[in-house]
């Protein structure tokens, strides 16, 4: 098991100076980021369905071991609210362009979508089985055994998300894991607690830890601290210098 850590997005101008060199061309941001982090969660794919050409260009800029977690297109999760699973199949066709650099696809549901077990199972049934999927539920009515069992039956991960407003139960439903640790602050004790849980949860494959989407200047440094705190001995990637 490895813990791969990164941020939600990378293309932030306020990171020039604190993280990116001031004179770094925008076209080089991704390759620079990928030399320091293991993965990135792509928000672009939520607003626009990415093309194979675009994804192929991204893949060419990063090392082979780097991973892209694509947030599913909003037409799938928010506009049709999982009721047109064929949209997910089309999205997956483009995502395959990333090849081995593809992390789980994140299906982030709207906060006002309440639990609907048959809807979830029907959507899971139609998902391509060759691509890992993670689901972030943002209404607490989803946090029950029926949801967890449905994800387990189809090998999908419960996205374990934590923010200042809502925390997902720590339940492993797949061999891989997907964490979104997005509280404003984490102290060392909280990070040690997360590291202990990850090590003891029984994950057999990679665990992705995608941190706060923040344009704040200190964001990369903060995420590196979380990376070191949650990964513990299981992640051998060198740390980003403090900034």
Average pLDDT over residues 183-198: 90
What pLDDT does residue 183 have? 87
The answer to whether residue 98 scores a pLDDT higher than 60 is: yes
User: Phi and psi dihedrals of 201, rounded to 5?
Assistant: -80, -15
**Residue 79 exposure: Cα atoms within 13 Å on the Cβ side:** 12
Q: Which two tokens stand for residue 176?
A: 């891989």
Strand partners, 69: 41
State the average pLDDT for the chain.
89
What pLDDT does residue 187 have? 87
Q: Name which residue leads in pLDDT, 173 or 185.
A: 173
Q: How many residues does the chain have?
A: 243
The answer to whether residue 237 scores a pLDDT higher than 70 is: no
pTM of model > 0.75: yes
What pLDDT does residue 241 have? 27
What pLDDT does residue 217 have? 41
The answer to whether residue 189 scores a pLDDT higher than 60 is: yes
Per-residue confidence at 213, pLDDT binned at 50, 70, 90? low
Three-state SS for 188-220 is HHHHHHHHHHHHHCCCCCCEEEEECCCCCCCHH
What pLDDT does residue 238 have? 32
| CB-based contact 182:162 (threshold 8 Å) | yes
Q: How far apart are alpha carbons 160 and 226 in whole angstroms?
A: 15
pLDDT tens digit string along 35-79?
Answer: 999 999 999 999 999 999 999 999 999 999 999 999 999 999 999
Q: Where are the beta strands (DSSP E) in the chain?
A: 3-8, 39-42, 67-70, 105-108, 133-136, 157-158, 160-162, 177-181, 207-211
Average pLDDT over residues 186-212: 92
What pLDDT does residue 224 have? 58
DSSP 91: H
Q: How far apart are alpha carbons 37 and 35 in whole angstroms?
A: 6
Average pLDDT over residues 93-101: 97
pLDDT tens digit string along 224-236?
Answer: 555 555 554 333 3
Average pLDDT over residues 206-214: 80
What pLDDT does residue 170 have? 98
Domains along the chain with CATH numbers? 3-234 (3.20.20.410)
């Amino acid at each position: 098991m490895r813990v791969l850590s990164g941020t939600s997005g990378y293309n932030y101008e306020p990171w020039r100076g604190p993280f990116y060199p001031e004179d770094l061309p925008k076209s080089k941001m991704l390759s620079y980021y990928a030399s320091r982090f293991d993965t990135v969660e792509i928000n672009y794919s939520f607003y626009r369905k990415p093309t194979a050409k675009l994804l192929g260009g991204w893949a060419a800029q990063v090392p082979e071991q780097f991973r892209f977690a694509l947030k599913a297109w909003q037409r799938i999760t928010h506009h049709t609210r999982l009721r047109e699973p064929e949209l997910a199949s089309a999205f997956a066709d483009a995502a395959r362009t990333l090849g081995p650099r593809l992390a789980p696809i994140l299906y982030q549901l709207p906060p006002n979508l309440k639990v609907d077990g048959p809807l979830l199972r029907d959507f899971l049934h139609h998902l391509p089985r060759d691509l890992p999927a993670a689901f972030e539920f943002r209404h607490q009515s989803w946090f029950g055994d029926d949801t967890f069992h449905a994800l387990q039956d189809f090998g999908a991960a419960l996205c374990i998300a934590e923010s200042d407003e809502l925390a997902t139960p720590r339940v492993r439903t797949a061999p891989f894991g997907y964490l979104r640790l997005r509280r404003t602050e984490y102290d060392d004790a909280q990070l040690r607690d997360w590291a202990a849980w990850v090590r003891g949860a029984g994950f057999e494959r990679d665990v992705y830890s995608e941190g706060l989407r923040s344009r704040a200047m200190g964001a990369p440094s903060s995420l590196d601290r979380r990376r070191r705190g949650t990964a513990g001995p299981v992640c051998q990637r060198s740390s980003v210098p403090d900034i």
